[in-house]
Structure 1
């Protein structure tokens, strides 16, 4: 059966994720709506990523690999992909993750129906790479006002690897390597500050892999510090280092709670996370 193809460019930056690339590509190719092109920028990988991407590109003509001679950094690699994207919309997905078969269609249809929308995200399911077991599902706000409020408080309103948005907007703002690993907050906060409209679908439409090399498995303090600094600059807030430190340790302990298998240790990390930010737990319960 021939499936419809939409004017969408998938943009992904790859570094040493060779063993996950086929599942990543297969999930896109098995979608109920196909993208125009899948741009994977290989950022100087040392594994067999180049060989695998070359082989898949021969089988899948919509795959357009870009090979950088040396590692230039995540944000720079994404910008290389944005530069050659020809679709009306950019779909972001990391090469160690995969999508629900209806993610592309649902986000595309929403953007086409509501032309005032600039970016549409969704929730995600995080899973253990070894067992395939779902560890937890995100609970991002659905409405524009709630999303905007999050950016004004140095929090993420959309999850980077779940978004589809207007190509012109992504190309206008681009990514900034100096903000990595907070490059996602930086680009979306700047969009919000200039009036971009965002929304989230409530369903978990992206599956995020947790493994030893994944960013999700290694929270850096810079990923928390930079959003507060950017927030202060863009939205004229006055968050200090104490706020960013408390947020960092809250998230660090909460992640340890999520990924810890020992029950007693899980409860201990949960207690620490709650004690550092009880209001966040109450807000999460209210959204359930």
Structure 2
């Protein structure tokens, strides 16, 4: 019965591409080797100025299922995602950034979650953090205590899923789609979707979220402002009172101060911490934050380097090895070559 459900489930996958020529080949080939094949693959290049389009065209020659490439001038990420959603014909819908990748069992597991959870609007899970060279250096399970079912409180008090781990029920997205007027488009969408149904959670790590020099720039004060904007826009449907909204904003600002400190922006971190000292944060965490504000940057950075070395010592594997392992350890059809970086740096 489960196998029949899987076979009858159609999945549309959308890849919004923009200047990721180094990684787009890997991303696409990780979709090609899914144990539950998508019914269609939609790739939209959003005005890339590198050789992404050439690599996409070459890579799609090997696509084992229906695919379509749209090449057009730049419109931005959210219009690109919504364009893909409009084109999609599947029962389920997934987006994957052109620098991320999936392990082979990703779609199979997510489809199973949604098939067995009719009240769920999406399925999600943990993922690996990978660097520019495909090395695993951590995972969301290191810090995120994700929840299953009603996730309203988790989204308000803690953190959202990462988009690379999510498969959506398309019917839910026909009611609530991405808002082009907000900065943190996924977070804001999750706040609306949680009012429509459950989030089905599975703890297994089945995807890789890549952190590198060209995408870390989004981790700025703009994200903090975007989160606050998302809560302000959706306070009513979330049932937040004016006082609760103020408390949420204070917690968001408090959390961002830690990021600013780690980014060597001590003055801004101190200012934000003091402005939000009234935030309802456990006293131990407040004391830790104050202590970090007093420590020299060199000590903080040294601590992060030690943590990173320990993480690499534990993880440190090439994520392609995990892909091969999930496929039964076979490198047939030149799998290692198929998953290699197509783009050659000059």
The TM-score range, normalised by the shorter chain, is: 0.7 to 0.9
Q: Secondary structure at the match of 2:99?
A: coil
**Partner residue in 2 for 1:100:** 103
Q: Is contact 2:130-2:211 (8 Å) kept? A: yes
Show the counterpart of 1:239. 246
- How far off is 1:254 after superposition? 5.8
Larger relative contact order, structure 1 or 2 (CA cutoff 8 Å, min sep 6): 2
Report if the CA contact (8 A) 1:5-1:36 is conserved. Answer: no
- Summarize the Cα distance change of 1:56–1:6 in structure 2 as closer, same or farther, 3 Å threshold: farther
TM-score, normalised via structure 2 length? 0.67
* 1:18 paired residue number: 21
Superposed CA offset, 1:94-131 (max 9, x none): 1111111111101101111221211001111111113x
Q: Which runs of 4+ in 1 moved over 4 A?
A: 3-6, 252-256
Q: Deviation digits for residues 148-207 of structure 1, max 9, x if unmatched?
A: 212233x43321121001112223322122212x001111101113x3211221111111
Q: Could you report, residue by residue, the CA deviation over 1:263-286 in whole angstroms, capped at 9, with x for unpaired residues? A: 86242799xxxxxxxxxxxxxxxx
1:64-213 aligned at under 5 Å gives the runs 64-68=68-72, 70-130=73-133, 132-139=134-141, 140=144, 141-145=146-150, 147-153=151-157, 155-180=158-183, 182-193=184-195, 195-213=196-214
How far apart are the structure 1 equivalents of 2:105 and 2:304? Answer: 38
Structure 2 distance, partners of 1:5, 1:144, is: 25
8 Å contact from structure 2 (residues 182, 230) kept in 1: no
2:255, 2:31 → 1: CA distance?
A: 35
Q: 2:39 aligns with which of 36, 39, 45?
A: 36
Flag structure 2 segments of 5+ consecutive residues without an equivalent.
Answer: 1-5, 265-297, 307-346
The structure whose Rg is larger is 2
Structure 1 residues not aligned, in runs of 5+? 257-261, 271-288
RMSD (Å), alpha carbons:
2.7
How many residues get paired?
257
> Structure 1 residues 91, 266: closer, same or farther in 2, change over 3 A?
farther
Per the TM alignment, residue 10 of structure 1 is displaced from its structure 2 partner at its CA by: 0.8
Hey, what's the Cα distance between the residues in 2 that align with 1:24 and 1:263? 37
- Please list the CA deviations of residues 29-73 of structure 1 after superposition, one character each: whole Å capped at 9, or x if unmatched: 1111111111121111001111222223333252222222x2111
